[in-house]
Structure 1
Amino acid sequence: MCDIQYIGPFRNHLKNHIELKQAVGYKYATEARHLKRFDQFTLEKYPNANCLTKEIVLNWCSKQPHEVQANQRARASILRQFSKYLDVMGLSAYILPKGYYPKEPQYVPYIYSTEELVRFFDQTDQCHYSSECPHRHLIMPVFFRMIYMCGLRVTEARLLTVGDVDLTTGVLSIHHSKKDNSRLVPMSNSLVERCREYSAKVHAFATSEDYYFPTLGGKPMTSTNVYHNFRRFLWLAGISHRGRGAGPRIHDFRHAYAVHCLKKWTEQGRDLAVYLPMLRIYMGHDSFQDTAYYLRLTADVFPNIILKLQNRYPDIIPVLEGDSCETD
């Protein structure tokens, strides 16, 4: 149920659109907040509007100062869905053509080497106690290892609860991730042991609803907090950051996990036609294409195995184009 109050000229349609999305299983919380800003925009600029015109759509979707293109495309996509809803309901609405705003040049993921990972994790192990975040020195060694060793998205790790980390079976429960998908993620024995030691120190009296990586007040770490720690460890590990939009990024740990898995399986002679579907489920990919993308990335990062990959899987190695890795 949508609990945001809409007061602009499209208030009832916005409310009904969001409730319909949520009724069929989408969380649609972020989108609802974006549409609240659109609601305020139309209230101020077009208070008497009775249809969603091209002028309203293009004015709302116009790029804002200092806004990156990906954010503009995301706003446009959300409004496009609302326009399609109005059209289905028989109301006049301009539907922005798909791909109306061009994509930014594709980001090429940074694949950490084994040596870089060792240096980075060694720095997390040296993290000091901080009164501002009393558990930081305990959290960081486990948090970043979990992202890499389980191929998690940052938000998936941030929002884990104590109940999501089963230390008996060694399995993580990921709930309502990208596109509202959920999955089970087995951990390695070494990571399970680290989690047991961590839990004994941090969660001796915790409930299953408590966040597994808490900050002050029991709240989950923010993305900003995680990023600041990441940049500090990166610098201490001697791994150069190439500037805004160039990486390395935290999300590249997830890319590195997939590439390293494929490299190992290829060198071991494993049948990737069997292992790729397993990797797809493990990482929570929505389509096989998302997983197959890593075949090309693996071949590019490790050219010594490119012939082996291309000879065995010539038809499923995609060209690196588009922004599929950005939505992963």
Structure 2
Amino acid sequence: MPFQPKRAHPYLYSDDEVRRLLHAALEMQYRYERGALRPRAFYCLFGLLSVSGMRLSEALNLELRDVDLAEGVLTIRGAKFGKDRLLPLHASTCKVLADYIVRRDRHWAGWDVSPYLFVSSGGRRLDQADVRRTFYALSREIGLRGTSDSHGPRLHDMRHVFATRTLVRWYQSGQDPERRLPILSAYLGHAHVADTQWYLSASPELMRESMRRLERYWENRS
């Protein structure tokens, strides 16, 4: 039979696991003074992924010009399928990013540095492979992965968590997730709403909310 690719089963992080990951990022050691911003850069990168539902590539491609903290909006340029889009940010996220940018400007004052928001110790855009290696190392450090595990939670899973939690909040607040799904789809940068609908089966909590709504529907009909 021809090979049929399957989606990886997402890992749904708990709030505590995200907090431990962010704390571990802040505690990272560095050897040279030019690496002093590295812990803060990874702290903000991982935190932004967890609260925005962005793809890792989208976050790494952000330039300073794409961050409008006065309006609380990020501009995603040339993302998947060549689309641009705007992402609104919560005030708490803007506060953390503003602090990081001040630290970034102070750290790189007088140096030739790239315009990207998240830069390496050499002043260039963070490398995706380095980000993943760092994430794997921190995951092992906090117990998300075993020391010899070759598979485990991924950074991309934070996107799943964002999507499923958004849908759960809509269910719990009595809104109609089916009607609002195109909004989430546009926010995530999906080409088709069907790509977003897949999240409906990815979370046990979300499935429970769906079942509760279905049960209420049948109770009202009886």
Confirm or deny a common fold (TM above 0.5): yes
| Alpha carbons 1:174, 1:183 under 8 Å: kept | yes
Residue number in structure 2 paired with 1:229: 134
CA distance in 1, matches of 2:197, 2:174: 17
- TM-score, length of structure 2 as denominator length: 0.84
Offset of 1:124 from its aligned partner?
2.0
Offset of 1:254 from its aligned partner?
0.7
Q: Do the aligned partners of residues 200 and 148 (structure 1) sit closer, same or farther apart at CA in structure 2, a change above 3 Å counting?
A: same
| Alpha carbons 1:164, 1:174 under 8 Å: kept | yes
Residue number in structure 1 paired with 2:174: 269
Residue number in structure 1 paired with 2:71: 169
| Alpha carbons 1:277, 1:288 under 8 Å: kept | yes
Is the partner of 2:198 in helix, strand or coil? helix
- Tell me the number of residue pairs that the alignment of Structure 1 and Structure 2 aligns: 212
Q: Do the aligned partners of residues 130 and 154 (structure 1) sit closer, same or farther apart at CA in structure 2, a change above 3 Å counting?
A: farther
Q: Which whole-Å deviations, capped at 9, do the CAs of 1:27-46 have from their partners, x for residues lacking one?
A: xxxxxxxxxxxxxxxxxxxx
- TM-score, length of structure 1 as denominator length: 0.59
Offset of 1:252 from its aligned partner?
0.5
Is the partner of 2:12 in helix, strand or coil? coil
> Does structure 1 residue 113 correspond to structure 2 residue 14?
yes
Residue number in structure 1 paired with 2:190: 285
Residue number in structure 1 paired with 2:220: none
Off by >4 Å, runs of 4+ in structure 1: 204-207, 309-313
CA distance in 2, matches of 1:117, 1:172: 22
CA distance in 2, matches of 1:161, 1:101: 42
Residue 194 of structure 1 is aligned with which of 81, 87, 96? 96
Residue 53 of structure 2 is aligned with which of 151, 162, 173? 151
Offset of 1:310 from its aligned partner?
4.8
Q: Highest Rg: 1 or 2?
A: 1
| Alpha carbons 2:200, 2:206 under 8 Å: kept | no
| Alpha carbons 2:64, 2:117 under 8 Å: kept | yes
| Alpha carbons 1:172, 1:184 under 8 Å: kept | yes
Is the partner of 2:51 in helix, strand or coil? helix
CA distance in 2, matches of 1:125, 1:101: 46
Residue 141 of structure 1 is aligned with which of 17, 39, 43? 43
CA distance in 1, matches of 2:134, 2:216: 41
Residue number in structure 2 paired with 1:124: 25
CA distance in 2, matches of 1:260, 1:130: 38
| Alpha carbons 2:11, 2:153 under 8 Å: kept | yes
Residue 304 of structure 1 is aligned with which of 181, 184, 208? 208
CA distance in 2, matches of 1:158, 1:231: 17
Instruction: Select between 132-141 and 166-175 the one with higher mean Cα deviation.
Output: 132-141
Which 5+ residue runs of structure 1 have no aligned equivalent? 1-99, 314-328
Is the partner of 1:218 in helix, strand or coil? coil
Which 5+ residue runs of structure 2 have no aligned equivalent? 218-222
| Equivalent position amino acid for 1:167 in 2 | L
**What is the aligned-residue RMSD (CA, Å)?**
2.7
